[in-house]
């Protein structure tokens, strides 16, 4: 799936990592300066803060980096002052080892906690069966994209897709095979849409793909998806495999719809026009926003 890049894009993640790295380096510099002023007795309590910060931000790797910084800082510190005695060196090495162990344990706990939170967040955004975004995520993203277009301009296109004769497929081969089919179609959508597009399971056997672009872009993607699904097969009881087709409806905003609700309604109307005209085709809803349109059906 286009990873939750729509919710947390890669560029935003990189910026967050850079900010966290900057905050960690700044804390290490401040703590090091304080120790230089206050003396070595404050090394361990002072460096606890950047250690915890590193474990929270970067897990075990962060704890290791802070420990390396600490070791080098102590070498630098003692090189500026009276050379360390054997006892001081021994105590310092033991302290660094314990410091590293505590940091690694803290980082491991934080990483597991982060992984659990990530899985929980993903489960609330995606459909369990297909792995695509769920209806709620789709609605939120659609609203956000329409708001961006109203503010900055651009074109947004919605594809509504429905599996043809899915009820008959379920009745003939069983619900387990139907679920396998939905999973396979979900995987097909994920593999064919662009990173900037949002594929979602709209409900039942109906899917939606939201793209940046006009209706011609939507038609092109719709045809690509239609051919891919038609060529997809799943194993079913009593046969080696079976396949289905999809019908697609395409509508754009703002050229062809007045708001997000109208966009969904027009794409849905175009979808059912595809059904009415024989299924396994892509239909575009043409027309300016605010006036009735006659869907135009296009087939490969």
Q: How far, in Å, CA of 245 to CA of 95, rounded?
A: 66
- Cβ neighbour number for residue 283 with a 10 Å cutoff: 28
Which band of pLDDT confidence, cut at 50, 70 and 90, is reported for residue 121? low
| 222-237 pLDDT, tens digit each | 999 999 999 988 988 8
Say if residues 145 and 210 touch (Cβ distance below 8 Å): yes
Most confidently predicted of 9-18, 41-50, 89-98, 130-139: 130-139
Confidence of residue 120 (pLDDT cuts 50, 70, 90): low
Higher pLDDT, 70 or 125: 70
**C-alpha to C-alpha distance for 1 and 191, rounded to whole angstroms:** 7
Query: Residue 295 — very low, low, confident or very high, per pLDDT cuts 50/70/90?
Result: very low
User: Which residue, 160, 154, 179, 159, is CA-closest to 169?
Assistant: 179
pTM score: 0.62
* Higher per-residue pLDDT: 81 or 194: 194
The pLDDT, as a whole number, for residue 15 is 86
Q: Find the range with the poorest average confidence among 215-229, 258-272, 274-288.
A: 274-288
- pLDDT tens-digit profile of 168-188? 999 999 999 999 999 999 999
**135-298: CATH homologous superfamily?**
Reverse transcriptase/Diguanylate cyclase domain (3.30.70.270)
8-state DSSP, 156: E
Identify the pLDDT of residue 76.
83
Q: Tell me what pLDDT residue 118 has.
A: 65
- Confidence at 196, pLDDT banded by 50, 70, 90: confident
pLDDT-derived band at 122, boundaries 50, 70, 90: low
Mean pLDDT of the residues in the chain: 86
Residue extents of the structural domains in the chain = 4-125, 135-298
Q: What are phi and psi of 271, to 5 degrees?
A: -60, -45
User: For 29-74, how does the pLDDT look when each residue is reduced to its tens digit (9 = 90+)?
Assistant: 999 999 888 887 888 889 999 999 999 989 899 999 999 999 888 8
SS3 at position 180: helix
- Counting every residue, how long is the chain? 300
To 10 degrees, what angle do helices 260-276 and 135-152 make?
120
Catalytic positions are 205
Classify 246 as helix, strand or coil: strand
SS3 203: strand
Quickly state the pLDDT bin for 159 (edges 50, 70, 90). Answer: very high
Write a three-state SS string for 34-48. Answer: HHHHHCHHHHHHHHH
pLDDT above 50: residue 154: yes
């Amino acid at each position: 799936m286009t990873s939750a890049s729509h919710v947390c894009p890669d560029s935003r993640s990189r910026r967050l990592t850079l900010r966290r790295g900057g905050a960690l380096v700044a804390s290490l510099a401040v703590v090091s300066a304080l120790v230089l002023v206050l003396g070595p007795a404050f090394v361990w309590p002072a460096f606890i803060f950047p250690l915890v910060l590193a474990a929270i931000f970067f897990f075990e790797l962060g704890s290791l980096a802070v420990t390396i910084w600490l070791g080098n800082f102590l070498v630098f510190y003692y090189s500026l002052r009276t050379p360390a005695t054997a006892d001081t060196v021994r105590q310092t090495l033991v302290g660094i080892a314990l410091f590293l162990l505590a940091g690694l344990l803290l980082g491991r706990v934080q990483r597991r906690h982060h992984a659990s939170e990530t899985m929980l967040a993903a489960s609330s955004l995606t459909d369990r069966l297909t792995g695509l975004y769920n209806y709620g995520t789709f609605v939120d993203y659609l609203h956000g994209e329409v708001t961006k277009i109203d503010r900055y301009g651009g074109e947004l296109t919605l594809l509504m897709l429905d599996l043809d004769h899915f009820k008959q497929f379920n009745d003939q081969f069983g619900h387990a095979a139907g679920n396998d089919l939905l999973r396979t179609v979900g995987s097909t959508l994920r593999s064919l849409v662009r990173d900037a597009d949002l594929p979602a399971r709209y409900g039942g056997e109906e899917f939606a793909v939201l793209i940046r672009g006009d209706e011609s872009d939507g038609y092109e993607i719709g045809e690509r998806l239609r051919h891919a699904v038609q060529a997809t097969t799943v194993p079913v009881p009593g046969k080696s495999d079976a396949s289905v087709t999809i019908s697609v409806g395409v509508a754009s905003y703002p050229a062809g719809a007045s708001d997000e609700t109208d966009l969904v309604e027009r794409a849905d109307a175009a979808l059912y026009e595809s059904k009415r005209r024989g299924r396994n085709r892509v239909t575009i809803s043409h027309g300016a926003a605010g006036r009735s349109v006659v869907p135009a059906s296009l087939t490969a």
